[in-house]
Chains A and B, each alone.
Chain A
């Protein structure tokens, strides 16, 4: 019998039907056309006024749907991010998923003492080094808002620190048009030139408008800068259910998408064809503490819905979150919430997935949490690959050999097992499956403790490819000028 190539079904999740997707999109367009939005950047306002938008009360804008259609047409359907040596690292297209850390946590859990303390610049370096050393974490964000650098240039210092401690792509924050120019200068220096950076970007800017429907001047300044320099960018707005947006998820999504579309339209008017990563952050406001939740099912659900809308309507790669928690420590809650968002982000085909390693609704960062998430991502990636079915995996010959092999014949001894076990099974590194006595003899460590030790090992042993002296000198020079 000739063997046939059987395609492998890869389990994926859908949470919206086409009618739901179109209705949310329609609502977003209606918000822009009927309600409108506040555009506080004079040039962006003029661009919109020149293109059929209706302006009232100075800076209140109502936008016709055809502008959205045009912007969706001109924005690229695929965004590639490169590592800092110029190799393609992140291909944002179709159902590809990539995980990375988050930005700007005020506190961190100290890896030596476990204590929650204010973050410092050294933490940014440690987080970047850890990201560099973990195989399932694909990009770095700062993870910290350090208290020991001048606050006016905090994002420049943080960016420089990341560059020194990882070769992977970087998603960065800036405050305004002023510091983003310096960050762009550093990034250009790393790849030896602005043109090279444009050709093979290793950076993506994360910026936020303010829900509901407000576009501050400094935010649009950064957006226009990125559009003109072709720096990939995303612009979620914090349209969290019950916070910046209505409490019902459909309305919160419609608002967040409307806000994203405003960003996209201005972005494409300022730099036609520049890369724009789509997607609002639609989490939920906790109805007791009023924090924005990082471990809730709502956020995972809305980003799954957004992936469906991408496939039905937008066609642009999307921004997402996973691997975070509202718990204050790396405990059972942190593990449960991290895994929930990690596997659903993958199943729902989200593209660029950030916030891995956050505790305490994004206020505290944890190195151990990232190390743990690295393993949970591996587990999830194994799951979503599905079950390849072919002659090799059906293993009829091995069954025959062992089944008829008589006493002493076991699969564990068979060559088929030896040849296939590495890819056939998921082999955890940190999730403990040891026998009881072995576990007890190894100090009866729990997962947190094992992650702590593994984190320290990586920070101690992992070598980040050093930057050339000339690059380091230029960075110092740019920092001195700030």
Chain B
């Protein structure tokens, strides 16, 4: 079975009940797990991303689609053997030390997850050490940092330095964002990428890992 039309439509509509039922139907019919994920859920979220970026969908609708995908994943995930699940990449994300603002960071995390990345969200007030340890622990491809306050921006530089000291700077890509953050600041502290909003964060992440 390769037709996931019902599933993708339900995810795009944010209809959790139907999407979960469609996922169960696909599983019962013996569909390939990676196919359900790639051709069903992620394909749907790609369309959601497209609709969102062209103004045909609003943020709450996009987030409902992401939540719908998460609910479907609850059925699929346990069936994958460990390490068998192919994700777009592993992302460790958080708001930097002494900054307690998380709306923007949460939005980025949700959108990246919807795009097929595996997300480890460390929350707010995350120290350079915690970023580094978690990145090492999960073998992160990307470390994504957020700051709302200009006074907490220096923690981004310190986190990059901590990654350097731990010897994993060349193994991870660093993305930064948040209201006071600029392209110039990103290059000044040698981050790999800067994204002005959640939609561009997904595009930037894919570009960093050379994913189409």
Contacts and interface: CB of A to CB of B under 8 A. Distances in A.
B101 interface: yes
A446 B148 CA distance: 36
B59 A290 contact: yes
A152 interface: yes
Interface in A244-297: 244, 247, 285, 287-290
A467 interface: no
B100 A145 contact: no
A472 B142 CA distance: 49
B151 A210 contact: no
Contacts of B103: 243-244, 290
Contacts of B151: 151-152, 154, 175
A104 B197 contact: no
Contact of B107 (A106, A218, A247, A290): A290
Interface stretch (B65-73, B167-175, B176-184, B203-211): B176-184
A151 B100 CA distance: 18
B153 A118 contact: no
B77 to A, nearest CB: 28
Interface in A212-239: 214, 216, 218
A154 B150 contact: yes
B16 to A, nearest CB: 19
B78 interface: no
- Size band of the interface chain A makes with B: 20 to 34
Contact of B104 (A118, A175, A210, A290): A290
A198 interface: no
Contact of B182 (A118, A287, A288): A118
Interface string B138-166: 00000000000011011000000000000
A247 B60 CA distance: 10
B179 A363 contact: yes
A104 B182 CA distance: 14
B60 A287 contact: yes
Nearest to B198: A290
A210 B100 CA distance: 8
Contact of B55 (A154, A288, A290): A288
Interface in B86-136: 98, 100-101, 103-104, 107
Contact of B100 (A214, A287, A288, A363): A214
A240 to B, nearest CB: 9
Contacts of B104: 290
A145 B180 CA distance: 9
A145 B150 contact: yes
A170 B154 CA distance: 27
Contacts of B182: 106, 118
Nearest to A175: B151
Interface string B176-194: 0001101010000000000
Contact of A151 (B60, B153, B184): B153
Interface in A37-79: none
Interface of A: 104, 106, 118, 145, 151-152, 154, 175, 210, 214, 216, 218, 242-244, 247, 285, 287-290, 363
25 contacts: A104-B150, A106-B150, A106-B179, A106-B180, A151-B151, A151-B153, A154-B151, A175-B151, A210-B100, A210-B101, A214-B100, A216-B100, A218-B98, A242-B60, A243-B103, A244-B103, A247-B60, A285-B59, A287-B60, A288-B55, A288-B58, A288-B59, A290-B104, A290-B107, A290-B198
Interface of B: 55, 58-60, 98, 100-101, 103-104, 107, 150-151, 153-154, 179-180, 182, 184, 197-198
Given A175-B151, A290-B198, 11 more contacts: A106-B182, A118-B182, A118-B184, A218-B98, A243-B103, A244-B103, A285-B59, A287-B59, A288-B58, A289-B197, A290-B59
Closest 4 pairs (CB-CB, A-B)? A287-B58, A145-B150, A175-B151, A106-B180
